[in-house]
């Protein structure tokens, strides 16, 4: 990750495209955190890429003056990982909604965790599908009623932090769109972390499922004495769903796949193909 030699402010990362989100949408808070983080880290806009899938939240790359890729529903992580493998010099941030990353894109989350490629993902969780007008998502609470679940959702509620921890993701954090300063700090730590960083951002949808007041009341900072290298303790915090904890749950520095592949590339230069093929002669 290189740093710009010129001073950059959050304004420098605002594109000409104005956000089309509904008034009060939590995604505005997440966007502000992204602007602040990029400026704090002095990331050169032409060496930074924001990748998304499809959804209200996935519109975010349009509003950021870096490179961007508004891809296909559920495919933000494959695009972001491919990009980082091909261009390890770039800072790659993937963004999207709970539908995008925990429904159609859930399989990709598993493999992103196992590969530990050095990218950061920010999931804007409003516990429903916003863009398609409020259907349930994996993070909707059991019993939640919508136009398409008039008798209430029968499935269990997905736990993003516990899932990320069980997959041994190397950086796991949660923030809240109404606390953009704290969220910006977590995104900054995530980008600085060498490996796959998972940031769960609670981001309410006031139009289809307004969780703003509940989260404002219940969101609780992770205790200051929490050891963020202890995955078992982090899991205990993750299991608290009534009063969701915000902050850094877990961090572990280990080899990344982009690093390992780079080393392998050097090794492969010495590979003698003729000698290898002689075995089959």
Ligand X SMILES: Cc1ncc(C[n+]2csc(CCOP(=O)(O)OP(=O)(O)O)c2C)c(N)n1
User: In the complex, which residues of this chain contact ligand X (CB under 6 A)?
Assistant: 54-57, 73, 96-100, 124, 126, 129-132, 137
Of residues 181-210, those binding ligand SF4 (CB under 6 A): 205-208
Is 197:170 a contact under the CB 8 Å cutoff? yes
Pick out residues in 129-148 that bind ligand SF4 (CB under 6 A): 130
Binds 190: which of ligand X, ligand SF4, none (CB < 5-8 Å by kind): none
Assess 25 for contact with ligand SF4 (CB under 6 A): yes
Q: Measured from the CB atom, is 28 or 67 closer to ligand SF4?
A: 28
Q: Are 78 and 53 in contact (CB under 8 A)?
A: no
Indicate which of ligand X, ligand SF4, none lies near residue 8 (CB less than 5 to 8 Å, by partner kind). Answer: none
Binding residue count for ligand SF4, defined by CB under 6 A: 11
Nearest 5°: the CA angle 142, 145, 149 is 95
Residue 141, contacted partner among ligand X, ligand SF4, none, CB below 5-8 A by kind: none
The burial of 201, by beta-carbon neighbours within 10 Å (0-12 exposed, 13-18 middle, 19 or more buried), is given as buried
Place of tokens 């008798």: 151
Part of the chain binding ligand SF4 (CB under 6 A), chosen from 20-28, 46-54, 151-159, 163-171: 20-28
Specify the residue, 166 or 207, whose C-beta has the smaller distance to ligand SF4: 207
Return the closest-CA partner of residue 83 out of 265, 75, 254: 75
**What are the E-state strand segments in 102-144?**
120-125, 128-129, 135-136
| 43, 56, 112, 184: which one binds ligand SF4 (CB under 6 A) | 56
The answer to whether residues 87 and 2 touch, using CB atoms and an 8 Å cutoff, is no
**According to the binding rule CB under 6 A, does residue 119 interact with ligand SF4?**
no
- Nearest distance in Å: CB 24, ligand SF4: 7
- CB nearer to ligand SF4: pick between 27 and 258: 27
Structural contact between residues 170 and 254, judged by C-beta atoms closer than 8 angstroms? yes
Q: Which two tokens stand for residue 73?
A: 């529903």
Q: Which two tokens stand for residue 206?
A: 């006031």
- Contacts to ligand SF4 by CB under 6 A: 21-22, 25, 27, 56, 126, 130, 205-208
């Amino acid at each position: 990750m290189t740093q710009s030699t010129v001073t950059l402010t959050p304004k420098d990362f605002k594109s000409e495209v104005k956000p089309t989100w509904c008034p009060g949408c939590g995604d505005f808070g997440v966007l502000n955190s992204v602007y602040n983080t990029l400026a704090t880290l002095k990331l050169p806009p032409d060496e930074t890429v924001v990748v998304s899938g499809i959804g209200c939240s996935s519109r975010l790359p349009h509003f950021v003056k870096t490179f961007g890729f508004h891809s296909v529903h559920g495919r933000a992580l494959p695009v972001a990982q491919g990009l980082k493998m091909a261009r390890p010099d770039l800072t790659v941030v993937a963004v999207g909604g709970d539908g995008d990353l925990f429904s159609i894109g859930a399989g990709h989350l598993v493999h992103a965790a196992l590969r530990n490629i050095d990218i950061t993902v920010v999931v804007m969780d409003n516990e429903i599908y916003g863009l398609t007008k409020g259907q349930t998502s994996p993070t909707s609470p059991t019993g939640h009623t919508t136009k398409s679940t008039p008798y209430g959702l029968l499935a269990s509620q997905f736990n993003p932090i516990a899932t990320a921890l069980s997959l041994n993701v190397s950086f796991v954090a949660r923030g809240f769109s109404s606390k953009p300063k704290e969220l910006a700090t977590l995104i900054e730590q995530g980008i600085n972390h060498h490996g796959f960083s998972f940031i769960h951002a609670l981001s309410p949808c006031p139009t289809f499922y307004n969780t703003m007041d509940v989260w404002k009341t219940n969101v609780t900072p992770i205790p200051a004495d929490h050891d963020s290298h202890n995955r078992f303790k982090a899991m205990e915090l993750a299991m608290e769903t009534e009063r969701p904890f915000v902050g850094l749950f877990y961090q572990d520095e280990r080899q990344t796949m982009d690093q390992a592949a780079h080393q392998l590339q050097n090794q492969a230069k010495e590979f003698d193909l003729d000698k290898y093929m002689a075995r089959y002669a």
